[in-house]
A and B are shown apart, each in its own frame.
Chain A
Amino acid sequence: MNNIEDKIIQYFEHELSREEAAQIEQLITENVEARKLFDQYKSVYVSFDQIPHQAPSDRLKQNFSLFLNEEIKQQAKSTKNTNYTKTIWMLAIGAILAAMLFFLVKNKADNQEINQQMIAMNENLTKLMQNESSSHRIKAVQISATLPDNNQQALDLLMDAMAKDPSSNVRLSALEALEKHIDNEQVRASIYKSMADETDQVVLISYINILTESKEKSAITELKKITKDQAMDQFIKDEAQLGLFQLQEY
């Protein structure tokens, strides 16, 4: 099934030849398990393409303009003998209020749909993070890193991978993905905690470099802890000391 899973991922990445893609399409009509897997990945990729846009769509704007013009035209025909300007303005305001109501209702429905897609995507990313292959887990980390900053579940997934993944390569990728969120207090606290528990020297060097680059004054305390750690290797202490020099200069 792993091979099929890989092929399905390639299918959605448009990396299969026409013949291979046709084989996958045939397979999912015959094999229930493959169909299930296909649907799970489909929801990831579909929802990935539909990351929320907070502004109203062009179509919505266009519909609203058409609706407004139509209303104005119709009312103009039937009110030739009345107070023309006043009526037009009242109708226009009414149309605006109706359109706003329509927009609010539609936006709520859109948000619900997007939220459902985000939940499905997060579930699938969580599943991908449980894959035995560290390379697949790194892929999940990299997808999570591209999600909107307010996707707390994606951030949690990255922080969890940074702290606990058995592969130091995955922990390193998660740390690097979190670098751009270092201004987030929760992420920073998580980085400090994970750094204290980290035993891999390459990952530790990356923690030190990321904290130095962040120019975060609170990192000084964390780097000082490393320089004073009796059990720490000397070259890591040296790196932390260099980081301290740079941070204290900022």
Chain B
Amino acid sequence: MKYLIICIFSFISIQAIAQHHHELSYEHVFNRHKDDKHFETKEYKVKHSGGNLIISGVADVSIESYNGSEVILSSQVQIKNNPHNDRAKGLKVLDSRGIEDNTGLGYSLTKKEGNLYLATMGHAHCDCSALTIKLPKGIGLVIEDKTFRGEVVWIKNFQDAIDMSLNNHSVRLEYVTGPMAIKTLHGNIEATFDKISQEGTINLVAVHSFVDVSLPSATNANLTLKTGHGEIYSDMDIIMDHEASKSGTGSKIITGKINNGGVNITLKSNFNEVYLRKI
């Protein structure tokens, strides 16, 4: 019984943390040092086309695609060098991965087999604010973060494939089309699609927090909405497959089509709510 109480308490605590996760606005996260004289905006550019940008270990980051040929990283960087450690002046921070901060923004960016690899180096390298990335169209995005940093990945105006696996991060998607497969353990997912690509599947999974998605009402899709311990809310006209759907005190599954059916969209939260809205 004692163990059961501890389990339930842990579960409630995780829920509470997840609910209060990331209330900060985009402006606050990405422009908080804009008018600070101790900070300057720095950029790093590299020409690249095709393949994927593969990011491992990431803090607050905003990514959008544009009609250009260079990958552009930018961040507001504190002007004073090595503010934490004067002894380190003239020395390099060593990293067991064999990579180094070649961007001046606290990140290592390398090319390999047609892909770009971006890895965070940590605050020892740079007192930088959130990172903004502009990607030429046609480059896919892969993000994996297993740290306990609980920040936000913002993706805007993005039409290429996305594959994300996150631990504590939340995800904000604005004017994206898919295909995409995104999951986060403790963060939540909010997405607004301006149209849905029929090229591949859309899978959005949040374990402890909610998934909230807005779709154009004319979208053609096959839907699977799942929750283990929450509820499923929607104002869309779903033609439900009652045989494959399931309701009850435990897990709930809604399977069906919107309009004539089309690409497969799966929205799932193990312990929280799933919201599907029409726009």
Contacts and interface: CB of A to CB of B under 8 A. Distances in A.
* Bound together: yes
8 contacts: A138-B201, A167-B142, A167-B181, A170-B181, A235-B10, A235-B14, A241-B7, A242-B7
Given A15-B262, A133-B161, A135-B161, A10 B198 contact: yes
A10 B199 contact: yes
Interface residues of B, number: 38
B198 A169 contact: no
Interface in A124-170: 132-136, 138-139, 142, 167-170
Nearest to B51: A132
A234 B182 contact: no
Contacts of B250: 213
Contacts, number: 93
Contact of B183 (A136, A168, A234, A235): A168
Contacts of A202: 165, 183-185, 205, 207
Interface in A76-122: none
A169 B228 contact: no
Most buried by B among A10, A15, A167, A235: A235
Nearest to A7: B199
A9 interface: yes
What secondary structure prevails in chain B residues at the interface with A? mixed
What secondary structure prevails in chain A residues at the interface with B? helix
A23 interface: no
Interface residues of A, number: 32
A242 B182 CA distance: 26
Given A135-B179, A169-B181, 12 more contacts: A134-B181, A138-B201, A167-B165, A168-B165, A169-B165, A172-B205, A173-B201, A200-B165, A202-B205, A202-B207, A205-B207, A234-B10
Contacts of A173: 181, 201, 203
B6 A205 contact: no
A69 interface: no
Contact of A205 (B178, B198, B220, B270): B270
A138 B198 CA distance: 14
B43 interface: no
B10 A133 contact: no
Interface in B226-248: 228
B200 A135 contact: yes
Contacts of B201: 135, 138-139, 142, 173
A241 B183 contact: no
Contacts of A15: 198, 220, 262
B220 to A, nearest CB: 8
A139 B270 contact: no
Contacts of B161: 133-135
Nearest to A5: B199
